[in-house]
Amino acid sequence: MRILAAMSGGVDSAVAAARAVDAGHEVVGVHLALSRAGGTLRTGSRGCCTIEDALDARRAADLLGIPFYVWDFSERFRDDVIDDFIAEYQAGRTPNPCMRCNEKIKFAALLERALELGFDAVCTGHYANLVPTDSGLELHRAADDAKDQSYVLGVLTAEQLAHTYFPLGETPSKALVRAEAEERGLSVAQKPDSHDICFIPDGDTRGWLAEKVGTATGDIVDRAGAVVGSHEGAHAYTVGQRRGLKLGVPAADGKPRFVLEVRPVSNTVVVGPKEALATAEISGRRFSWAGAGPDERSFACEVQIRAHADPVPAQAFVEPDGLRVVPEVPLDGVAPGQTAVLYVGTRVLGQFTIDRTVSAVPAGV
């Protein structure tokens, strides 16, 4: 096949590209410039898409003997990922920019251009598996549970999966990938993995949002509506947050309180006991299937609401206005805007963006 290898400058994408070459494919490397003013150097494991990353990717491509290009996707990334991230927080939701990047950039904008240029597939260093079946490709978890990235790939559609290549999915551990990189002479063999949000390299999401949307003083209230504190911007709070609340009125039982809800229209943050974070039901209108969807309107599955959360057995319902999921045991600290990915065993069935949650604890309790 003609393969376009997305090379971030990290060890995973470099080894993935190398394996594509070893498999006999015609491989071309590409690095995505996602910022018009990218930093020069990384700071440990923080940030990505720096000039240093582009140079690391180029060195890896040179070693592999494949053509290499840098494509400017900064405008598309700003519109589809950064602006979406800001808008979601302003709307009181908790977005996942990595999901949005996979959906809009790596497997939409990049894949579209790759197909236009005559490539058969895009290769990435994600840890996930594609399994061929009579009804098409299925997306499954990686062999290495610790590195499995199938959750952030749950947004991929059947058409996108048909043009995707994940060479690392069957690798038992990341240590083996690093060892292989060493053997191949790749300079990125021991390069730290990227963490946090790539466009907020210092990790200060609250400060970054304050610069983008400003501050606006509002009330922090308990479940009964009584004012217990104040804040300088509801967008800076997420469901489940405990630290940094600075409440002026202690709880009657003396226990810590957590953010239960963010109401952007009234610029109000609702807090309450940890037990009130238990969620009995979630639903969302925007959903997609990763391959063939279910035949039934109601089906058993497992639901996962964070990249590294444990999956929870659940019952899912396909309804006229979206998907509704009822877990066997309450989920903890679910926020609108998060992505719920549905699994059946190791297979990713699909995903939806959570619009509504139902607490397992009545407001009066």
Residue 6's contacts (CB-CB under 8 Å, 6 or more residues apart) are 13, 30, 31, 32, 106, 110, 122, 123, 124, 125
Residue ranges of the alpha helices (H) in the chain? Answer: 11-22, 51-64, 74-77, 83-90, 97-101, 110-116, 158-161, 174-184, 205-213
Is residue 101 part of the annotated active site? The answer reads yes
Identify the burial level of 311 via C-beta atoms within 10 angstroms of its C-beta, where 0-12 means exposed, 13-18 middle and 19 or more buried: middle
Span 182-232, pLDDT tens digits: 999 999 999 988 766 888 877 788 888 888 888 889 999 998 899 999 998
Segment 146-155, tens digit of pLDDT: 999 999 999 9
Does the annotation count 301 as an active-site position?
A: no
Q: What is the pLDDT of residues 32-42, one digit of tens each?
A: 998 765 554 44
Q: Are residues 315 and 355 in contact, defined by beta-carbon separation less than 8 angstroms?
A: no
CA dihedral for 53, 123, 95, 84, sign (positive or negative): positive
The whole-number average pLDDT for the span 100-128 is: 94
What does the pLDDT look like over 129-147, one tens digit per residue?
A: 999 999 889 999 999 999 9
pLDDT digits (tens, 9 = 90+) for 303-340: 999 988 999 999 999 999 899 999 999 999 898 999 99
The answer to whether residue 362 scores a pLDDT higher than 80 is no
> Torsions phi, psi of 142, nearest 5?
-75, 165
Determine the Cα–Cα distance for residues 41 and 46; give it in Å rounded to an integer: 10
Using DSSP, state whether 185 is helix, strand or coil: coil
The whole-number average pLDDT for the span 8-15 is 96
Average model confidence (pLDDT) across the chain: 91
DSSP result, 39-107: -SS-BTTB--S-HHHHHHHHHHHHHHT--EEEEE-HHHHIIIIIHHHHHHHHTT----HHHHHIIIIII
Task: Provide the whole-model pTM.
Answer: 0.90
Residue type, 334: V
Q: Compute CA 47 distance to the chain's CA centroid, rounded to the nearest angstrom.
A: 15
Task: Work out the burial of residue 261: count CB atoms within 10 Å of its CB; fewer than 13 is exposed, 13-18 middle, 19 or more buried.
Answer: buried
Catalytic hit among 49, 98, 198, 301: 198
| Alpha-carbon span 283 to 97, nearest angstrom | 20
The full DSSP string for 232-265 is S-GGG--TT--TT---SS--TT----EEEEEETT
CB 66 within 8 A of CB 6: no
Of all residues in the chain, the percent with pLDDT exceeding 90 is 68
**Catalytic position from the list 98, 101, 123, 301:** 101
The pair of structure tokens assigned to 192 is: 């730290």
- Output Rg (C-alpha) for the chain, integer angstroms: 22
The single-letter DSSP state of residue 138 is E
